[in-house]
Amino acid sequence: MKIVRPKTLEDNLKESIKAIRSQTKLKPKIAIILGSGLGEFAETISSSTVIDTQSIPHYPHSSVEGHKGRLIFGKIGKVKLLAFQGRVHFYETGNIETILYPIRVAHALGIKTLVVTNAAGGINKQFTPGDLMLITDHINLTFENPFIDQNKSATSHQLYDKPMQNLIKASAQEESIPIREGIYCGIKGPSYETAAEVQMIRFFGADAVGMSTVNEVSLANAFGMRVGGISCITNLSTGILDQKLSHKEVTEIANLVKGPFGQLLRAIIVKLGNKF
């Protein structure tokens, strides 16, 4: 009797990469993850091949509004780019591997530089909805370990590459787009934070809070990728303004800033193509 060996994560990745390679020959070194309500930037990518994630074996599928679930291979100017249009959140599956899988795919595809974006609630009282914030560091309050059961750990205390931070700031200045700087705090969700939790997170030193990014960035850093991050402040967190929070508000504000946000991302990608 033939014994069938259970598939490993490595087996699944090979099948995913094979399916992707069968649909595109482009081999970019730069990738961008587009967060809640920010996916429209992907429509500006030229010479693009669009791959629905549902056509990729073992790839996780998003169920959240504003996350289409597509991989887009193409170019910004002359720079080859892979855009992840949408992401899966921990609260959708309760399985950290589903949020890490796109990073594993990016690494297997040869990505060396990663730009992560997200929608976040403002903790810093100086922020206003519509602000863009350069992520200088993060606080992981998901209490998940992206390195569990692996012979891998974070390779640098500087998770967000300093030269990339400088490049992002220079791009914003050249495009006359105001950009804040601050620390992002990641939580599991899906509930928005209570006023007391917001006070705690501010005490910890965070300027913005959201439900993604931290574990993705940690793994990407461990894979040796240069990582840069930008948050779109789509709302002020509970206790800062006396109003009810909703995902609709998040997507509406993200939609309002899509012009300058897209302009900044294009400038960043072009600079990355010349620098790295």
Taking the C-alpha atoms of residue 208 and residue 9, their distance in angstroms, rounded to an integer, is 33
Of 250 and 79, which is predicted with more confidence? Answer: 79
The answer to pTM > 0.85 is yes
Query: Is residue 154 over pLDDT 80?
Result: no
Label residue 19 by pLDDT band (50, 70, 90): very high
Label residue 78 by pLDDT band (50, 70, 90): very high
Domains of the chain: 23-275 (3.40.50.1580)
Q: Of the residues 133, 164, 172, 211, which is catalytic? A: 211
Q: What is the four-CA torsion angle of 115, 262, 92, 95, rounded to 10 degrees?
A: -10
User: Is 133 designated active site?
Assistant: no
Label residue 258 by pLDDT band (50, 70, 90): confident
For residue 85, what is the DSSP state?
A: E
Q: Of the residues 67, 138, 160, 220, which is catalytic? A: 67
User: Is 92 designated active site?
Assistant: yes
User: Which of 106, 104, 112 lies closest to 8 in space, CA to CA?
Assistant: 104
Query: Is residue 18 over pLDDT 90?
Result: yes
Query: Is residue 183 over pLDDT 70?
Result: yes
Taking the C-alpha atoms of residue 120 and residue 58, their distance in angstroms, rounded to an integer, is 28
In tens, the pLDDT along 31-48 reads 999 987 677 888 889 988
Amino acid code (one letter) for 143: F
Q: Of the residues 31, 42, 83, 119, which is catalytic? A: 119
User: Is 225 designated active site?
Assistant: no
User: Is 89 designated active site?
Assistant: yes
Q: Of the residues 36, 118, 218, 221, which is catalytic? A: 36
**Three-class SS state of 72:** strand
Of 250 and 80, which is predicted with more confidence? Answer: 80
User: Is 67 designated active site?
Assistant: yes
Section 93-118 average pLDDT: 96
User: Is 36 designated active site?
Assistant: yes
Taking the C-alpha atoms of residue 183 and residue 151, their distance in angstroms, rounded to an integer, is 28
pLDDT score at 149:
56
User: Is 59 designated active site?
Assistant: no
User: Is 153 designated active site?
Assistant: no
User: Is 254 designated active site?
Assistant: no
Task: Tell the burial category of 46 from Cβ atoms under 10 Å away from its Cβ (0-12, 13-18, 19+).
Answer: exposed
